[in-house]
């Protein structure tokens, strides 16, 4: 029996689940976090300060000027109930503010990671475009430009004119062409008379 107890009391053996008197409460973290953020944001607004000031002033006036039987917080004790309520409100407000701040930090972390990934993608795209532009510039160096083609055509034309065929072409370009005097004098094309229309013959109606 002693050996069994020693074996069961080791750290390598898991403990058995204990029965719980109260059920485990597992609230939805998103719903609880959103509600705490709303409350924390409301606590940082001027409306909350205004309502809190009105509540404290009403509490003090009631417990000072109200009849003795109607008072619930003695002024002689330094308004102990009001002090306890304010301390309780402050003790709950601090964790709520920390929870809202933690959720905001998580959102900022996620947005920062997304921005970092977007910046990396933009950088890679920019580097790719830079490489493509450099490749296009290198390829355009070997392409013939318009001025280069004109200079080559001009030199080829000069070489052609220096030959005998070029001389003949030059002579032909210098001699004016003969024009048709008939057409130049009148400037009109002779027109033919219009053709006569043939009238259709009337068909003879046969008698019955």
Asked whether residue 160 is domain-assigned, the answer is no
Asked whether residue 62 is domain-assigned, the answer is yes
74 vs 49: CA distance, rounded Å: 24
Residue that the structure tokens 């205004």 belong to: 50
DSSP 91-109: HHHHHHHHHHHHHHHHHHH
The pTM assigned to this predicted structure is 0.44
Q: Exposed, middle or buried, 97 (CB in 10 Å: 0-12/13-18/19+)? A: middle
Asked whether residue 19 is domain-assigned, the answer is no
Highest mean pLDDT among 32-36, 49-53, 165-169: 49-53
Statement: residue 125 has pLDDT above 90: yes
Domain of 70, in residue numbers: 27-129
Number of domains in the chain: 1
Q: Of 20-24, 47-51, 78-82, 128-132, which gets the smallest average pLDDT?
A: 20-24
Asked whether residue 66 is domain-assigned, the answer is yes
* Cβ pair 36, 98 in contact under 8 A: no
Chain-centroid distance of CA 177 in Å reads 71
Residue that the structure tokens 């503010």 belong to: 97
DSSP 15-61: PPPPPPSSPPP---HHHHHHHHHHHHHHHTSHHHHHHHHHHHHHHHH
Asked whether residue 198 is domain-assigned, the answer is no
Asked whether residue 53 is domain-assigned, the answer is yes
151 vs 15: CA distance, rounded Å: 96
Torsion of CA 127, 132, 138, 140, to 10 degrees: -140
Output the average pLDDT for the chain: 75
Q: What is the DSSP letter of 76?
A: T
Q: What is the DSSP letter of 195?
A: P
Average pLDDT over residues 13-30: 67
Asked whether residue 201 is domain-assigned, the answer is no
Q: Of 123-127, 136-140, 144-148, which gets the smallest average pLDDT?
A: 144-148
pLDDT score, position 127: 93
User: Which of residues 176 and 67 earns the better pLDDT score?
Assistant: 67
Asked whether residue 10 is domain-assigned, the answer is no
78-116 per-position pLDDT tens digit: 888 899 999 998 888 888 888 888 888 888 999 999 999
């Amino acid at each position: 029996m002693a050996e069994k107890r020693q074996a069961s009391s080791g750290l390598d053996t898991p403990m058995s689940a204990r029965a719980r008197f109260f059920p485990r409460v597992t609230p939805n973290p998103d719903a609880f976090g959103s509600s705490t953020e709303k409350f924390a944001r409301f606590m940082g607004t001027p409306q909350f300060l205004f309502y809190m000031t009105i509540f404290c002033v009403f509490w003090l006036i009631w417990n000072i000027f109200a009849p003795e039987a109607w008072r619930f917080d003695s002024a002689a004790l330094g308004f102990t109930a009001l002090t306890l309520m304010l301390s309780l409100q402050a003790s709950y407000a601090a964790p709520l503010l920390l929870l809202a701040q933690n959720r905001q930090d998580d959102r900022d972390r996620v947005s920062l990671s997304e921005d970092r990934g977007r910046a990396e993608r933009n950088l890679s795209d920019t580097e790719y475009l830079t490489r493509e532009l450099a490749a296009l510039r290198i390829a355009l160096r070997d392409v013939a430009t318009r001025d280069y083609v004109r200079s080559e055509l001009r030199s080829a034309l000069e070489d052609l004119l220096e030959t005998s065929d070029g001389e003949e072409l030059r002579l032909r370009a210098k001699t004016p062409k003969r024009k048709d005097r008939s057409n130049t004098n009148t400037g009109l094309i002779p027109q033919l008379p219009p053709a006569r229309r043939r009238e259709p013959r009337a068909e003879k109606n046969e008698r019955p």
